[in-house]
Structure 1
Amino acid sequence: MKHEVVVTGIGVVAPNGVGSDDYWKAVQAGESGIRPISRFDASGYPIRLAGEVPDFPAETEFTRRLMPQTDRLTRLALFAAEFALEDAAVRPEELPEYSMGVAVSSSTGGLEFGQRELQALWGSGWESVSAYMSFAWYYAVHTGQISIRNGMRGPGGVVVSEQAGGLDAIAFARRRVRKGTALMTAGGLDGLICPYGVAIQSATGEVTGGLDAQSAYLPFDREAAGHAIGEGGAVLVLESREAAEERRAPRIYGAIAGYGSAFDPDPEASGGDGLLRAARTALADAGLAAEDVDVVFADAAGSVALDRAEADALAALFGERGVPVSVPKTMTGRLLSGGAPLDVATALLAIRDGVVPATANVRREAVDPRIDLVTGTARQQGVRAALVLARGRGGFASAMVLTGA
């Protein structure tokens, strides 16, 4: 018998809100976290806008022992995990250490830490390079540090499939809970807002330049010219429903009802076939039909060709304008591995409150007419099931179905 896996805690660290409450308020109000880069002087770079996570009070209390060995992004992952555990009323020190695991996806790890140490190598010599360079830059570092800090010595993993990676990590955690692990922290945190990271993103030609935050990211819009970058993500606490009820968890946000993945090396030519196959697999896994879905949180690449391919997939699955579509990441930028877990967190909050958030800045009249993109203001409606879609560079496509508690 497969256990139903539910979410009992949500931890969010996003450009427009730290903590799930502040983030959700910002999303419903249409408040964007995309602004001129402040972390360094980006005036000489093609990319000068980003969704930066603002400084917040808890950062000043971070342990001095961990400061020298962690990138800021890893510290944000630790905070997201802490927020999620607190939300779920889980005290790791009171649970058997091998009963808890971690799966937090990241494409970049501590990229800024790595850049700084490489500068030290070429500027001052190898003796100046920190010994922590051996792991602080690595894409598995978030999972490792969360595991160490919370004494979680059960299953651990990291999935690297770029924007799809966060869904894949949550699915990994779901499998582990179904196999008997009592509790998993899972999600994704990512970001490339440092000189090295911005240089990498500039080279792709997929990121919006300029300084107009209102037009930086216009998915499904005929004037789409790329996306804005961002940092952050979300971590969730996953348990079986039986375990959550037995320990009297304060709340159950909803269930990870279905998951599917596919590979689509040329999504523009295939008309979104990878996303379509992943979505159909996720719905079959959930035991639901397309008409049971109340909202789709789209991948929304911000590329005319890729958005057209996703619209093809949505129209094939739901019919034209068959389901409301939301892209709250227009207020955060695309967060790589952190984007889809943040969408999952948003979907669960939408289910809880009966609200479909609007897609900021996109004009209804400019949108692909085949999709019912929610624009302007949030839409009040019952949400029983939500579908989250994500595509990663290289052909990864993943889908996840969330249902109410």
Structure 2
Amino acid sequence: MTARPVVTGLGIVAPNGLGLEEYWAATLEGRSGIGRITRFDPTDYPSRLAGEIGGFTARDHLSGRLLLQTDRMTQLALVSADWSLADAGIDPAELADYQAGVITASHSGGFEFGQNELKELWSKGGRYVSAYQSFAWFYAVNSGQISIRHGMKGPSSVVISDQAGGLDALAHARRQVRKGTSLVVAGAVDASICSWGWVAQLASGRLATGEDAERAYLPFDPAARGHVPGEGGALLVVEDAGHARARGAGKVYGELAGHAATMDPKPGSGRAPGIERAIGEALRDAGIGPAEVDVVFADAAAVPELDRIEAEAITRTFGPRGVPVTAPKTMTGRLYSGAAPLDVAAALLSIRDGVVPPTIGTSPADAYDLDLVVGAPRPAPVRTALVLARGQGGFNSALVVRAAGL
């Protein structure tokens, strides 16, 4: 019998809340974590707003040795992993060797650590560059550091598919559990709000400009003009339901029930974008039809053409205004690889609490024909949720989560 992958732990680090309950309370209240950048002086840049995590002091959670060798991204990821394991009631030291793994996604690696070491190189010379630069910048560093910290020697890897990567990492964890791994810490945390990382993000041409944090990130709005970046994300404990039952797990948030990933065709090919096909294949993988989906967590690019493509994919699948749609990332910014796992965590909390979180700031255009939940949360029975994510370069990913017990 194929193992059933369920989520037993959530570790959340977000601009509008550190920790599961703080994030969820802020999200339901519509509290935004977006504001003017403070981690560097953004005055000379065209985009000056971001979702920054405040109140996080790495030394309160991690040893001095780890602080010396890790980027802010990894420090946040290590704490997120600690919280997810604690939430699941798991002590990794009690697990057998090779029973647990770590699968994360990354968009840009440890940009700030790399920037600081380049400054040392330029100003002082090569002998002042830290030996830790050899891995602190690397895309796979979060998986490596988490697995070392907790002695998790099972199947581990990193997924690189831009902003779709977080869903793809969860899907890979699902596959590993179905193959026999007892549990996998999976998801993504990204953080590259530094001047070098900012220049790299500006190169996409998709960042919003302007100073009004309340009207900066406006998916599906006639005034949409790009997204606001952010830092953070979520790591989840994806566990075999049988293993969770045997160890007496205290709770299950839900099941990772279906997934699909597609690529958009080459521009100018005349072929349709891949997001609608990803939705259909994810529903088929979960063994459900559109009528069984209670809410869609949208990718919400806030780029007019991309919003149109996503809205049409949703309405063709579910019918005009046929399913509640939400984008709580308007309160955090797009967290790159970390955005979609945070949406998955929000979807699981929606199932737990019977409520759809709101999209704030935006006034949806009638032309999109979406039932976008705006302004305030909407009480509703939620049993099944669909989470969408797209990355620059044509990546599409869709994940179905649903209520589940042991």
Q: Secondary structure at the match of 1:119?
A: helix
Question: Letter of the aligned partner of 2:84 in structure 1?
Answer: A
> What do the CA deviations read for 1:139-161 (whole angstroms, capped 9, x no partner)?
10000000000000110110000
Tell me what 1:6 maps to: 6
Q: Contact 1:271–1:308 at 8 Å: present in 2 too?
A: no
Question: Letter of the aligned partner of 1:65 in structure 2?
Answer: R
Q: Secondary structure at the match of 1:359?
A: coil
Residue 239 (1) aligns with residue 239 (2):
yes
Question: Letter of the aligned partner of 1:197 in structure 2?
Answer: G
Q: Contact 2:72–2:191 at 8 Å: present in 1 too?
A: no
Tell me what 1:137 maps to: 137
Which structure 1 segments of 5+ residues have no match?
none
Q: Contact 1:51–1:229 at 8 Å: present in 2 too?
A: yes
Tell me what 2:394 maps to: 395
Task: Summarize the Cα distance change of 1:14–1:266 in structure 2 as closer, same or farther, 3 Å threshold.
Answer: farther
C-alpha separation between the residues in 2 aligned to 1:122 and 1:357?
47
Task: Summarize the Cα distance change of 1:392–1:177 in structure 2 as closer, same or farther, 3 Å threshold.
Answer: same
Q: Contact 1:12–1:342 at 8 Å: present in 2 too?
A: yes
Tell me what 1:112 maps to: 112
Tell me what 2:206 maps to: 206
Residue 123 (1) aligns with residue 84 (2):
no
Q: Contact 2:265–2:273 at 8 Å: present in 1 too?
A: no
Task: Summarize the Cα distance change of 1:63–1:283 in structure 2 as closer, same or farther, 3 Å threshold.
Answer: same
C-alpha separation between the residues in 2 aligned to 1:39 and 1:268?
40
Task: Summarize the Cα distance change of 1:344–1:129 in structure 2 as closer, same or farther, 3 Å threshold.
Answer: same
C-alpha separation between the residues in 2 aligned to 1:13 and 1:385?
24
Task: Summarize the Cα distance change of 1:16–1:350 in structure 2 as closer, same or farther, 3 Å threshold.
Answer: same
- 1:192 Cα shift? 2.2
Which structure 2 segments of 5+ residues have no match?
none
C-alpha separation between the residues in 2 aligned to 1:139 and 1:308?
31
Question: Letter of the aligned partner of 1:338 in structure 2?
Answer: G
C-alpha separation between the residues in 1 aligned to 2:115 and 2:346?
32
C-alpha separation between the residues in 2 aligned to 1:283 and 1:76?
33
Residue 184 (1) aligns with residue 184 (2):
yes
Q: Contact 1:273–1:313 at 8 Å: present in 2 too?
A: no
Q: Secondary structure at the match of 1:97?
A: coil
Q: Secondary structure at the match of 2:7?
A: strand
Q: Contact 2:324–2:372 at 8 Å: present in 1 too?
A: yes
Identity %: 55
- 1:354 Cα shift? 0.6
Q: Contact 1:300–1:307 at 8 Å: present in 2 too?
A: yes
Task: Summarize the Cα distance change of 1:72–1:401 in structure 2 as closer, same or farther, 3 Å threshold.
Answer: same
Question: Letter of the aligned partner of 2:382 in structure 1?
Answer: V
Tell me what 2:256 maps to: 256
Q: Secondary structure at the match of 1:120?
A: helix
Question: Letter of the aligned partner of 1:134 in structure 2?
Answer: S
Q: Secondary structure at the match of 2:159?
A: coil
Q: Secondary structure at the match of 1:185?
A: strand
Matches within 5 A, 1:4-403: 4-56=4-56, 59-265=59-265, 273-364=273-364, 366-403=365-402
- 1:272 Cα shift? 6.4
Between the two proteins, the alignment pairs up a number of residues equal to 404
Question: Letter of the aligned partner of 1:237 in structure 2?
Answer: V
* Bigger Cα displacement from structure 2, 239-248 vs 52-61: 52-61
Q: Contact 2:312–2:368 at 8 Å: present in 1 too?
A: no
- 1:349 Cα shift? 0.2
- 1:42 Cα shift? 1.0
C-alpha separation between the residues in 2 aligned to 1:272 and 1:139?
31
- 1:59 Cα shift? 4.1
* Bigger Cα displacement from structure 2, 149-158 vs 48-57: 48-57
C-alpha separation between the residues in 2 aligned to 1:62 and 1:2?
38
Task: Summarize the Cα distance change of 1:12–1:278 in structure 2 as closer, same or farther, 3 Å threshold.
Answer: same
Question: Letter of the aligned partner of 1:178 in structure 2?
Answer: R
Q: Contact 1:84–1:236 at 8 Å: present in 2 too?
A: yes
C-alpha separation between the residues in 2 aligned to 1:341 and 1:228?
18
Q: Secondary structure at the match of 1:103?
A: strand
Q: Contact 1:268–1:309 at 8 Å: present in 2 too?
A: no
Task: Summarize the Cα distance change of 1:75–1:192 in structure 2 as closer, same or farther, 3 Å threshold.
Answer: same
- 1:58 Cα shift? 6.3
Question: Letter of the aligned partner of 1:109 in structure 2?
Answer: G
Question: If the length of structure 1 is used for normalisation, what is the TM-score?
Answer: 0.97
Question: If the length of structure 2 is used for normalisation, what is the TM-score?
Answer: 0.97
Q: Contact 1:193–1:230 at 8 Å: present in 2 too?
A: yes
C-alpha separation between the residues in 1 aligned to 2:299 and 2:366?
15
Q: Contact 1:267–1:274 at 8 Å: present in 2 too?
A: no
> What do the CA deviations read for 1:139-197 (whole angstroms, capped 9, x no partner)?
10000000000000110110000110001001111111111111100001112200001
Question: Letter of the aligned partner of 1:121 in structure 2?
Answer: L
- 1:109 Cα shift? 1.6
